[in-house]
Chain A
Amino acid sequence: MNNYLIVASIIFCIGALGVIVRKNLIVVFMSLELMFNAANLGFVAVSNRLNLISGDIFVIFVIVVAAAEAAIALGIAIAFYREKGTVDIDKANELKN
């Protein structure tokens, strides 16, 4: 289980780094999905090791939520692209002090 959790943590960190570093909106959304799926991996590993079912149930719910989030994310991305003509995150700079 430990090894699975280490792998999950590494994937999670890659995802988090991607969200922070990348400038392309679509890549940022992919990184967010990566973070969610790292958590899924952890849940499956733990519930397999401890012979429980609750972790697996959680994973199913997380997949559903991730799908809903992806729908919202792409909707926002399309709205952003229509207004700015790009999906570069640095162009989101209108709200300032």
Chain B
Amino acid sequence: MKLRQRNNISIDPKYILIVLIVVCTIFAIISFRFQDKMVPVRNAVSQVVMPMQKAINSIGVMINDRIDYIDTMESLVKENKKLKSQISELSEENQLLERDKYELETFRQLYDLDEEYADYPKVAARVISSDGDNWYNSFVIDKGSDDGIKKNQNVLADGGLVGIVTEVNNSYSRVRSIIDDESNVSGTFLKTEDSCIVSGSLSGINNGSIKITNITTDEVIEDGDPVVTSQISDRYLPGILIGYSKNITKNSSNLTLSGELVPAVDFQSLDMVLVITELKDSDDLEDILK
């Protein structure tokens, strides 16, 4: 019975196809003419299909990620090799730098090159003549008041204190070095912060050292302890390295220590110096002293 029914309504697919084509052609023309009328149909279908697409799309994204993962893996292996060799290079370099850094740090501590010290405005000057014979006790530099040099400005070289400007002219000035017999600089031991007086002396010139006196401390001062200019000095800016102590011994009075100081600057080959164009602000002090 069922078989017969099916056979009865079965039509040759040819005719179905022809009808379909005709209907679709008409439909195509209609939908082309009235495109805006088709929007609800599109919306209805897309509302059914879109959620499915969205859900499945997440799987697609996942697959895509996986493919990307495999793709990038190869390049990552290559990159890894390259980076590893780079690491060994860099670690070697780093070791060198580490050593340099350690050195730098020790030097910094030693020299007390703090910001204040580094931030002083400086003018470079050339030593043009000297009136010493062996070492320059005082000398002339080629910068004067035209370049902003004033009396009592500090002079540096090689990171250490050279002396102080004592006489200024338009185009040149005279500098008295700390090894000059007249020179007295109040200093401080960096390690123990004990004050002392560094004074130039002719007697020590041949040994390459100057005198250091009036050390008031109970602590042991070893050879090579750095001495810098003191805060209490009225002409010298604080924290400038003067030199290193040597042969510190107790005085006969047992109250103070004294000894020798090796200047940080090599005065025999002094060529270029730096003049700090900032004066120590000691006007108040001078007022009090008056």
Partners in one complex: no
- Which residues in A have some Cβ–Cβ distance to B below 8 Å? none
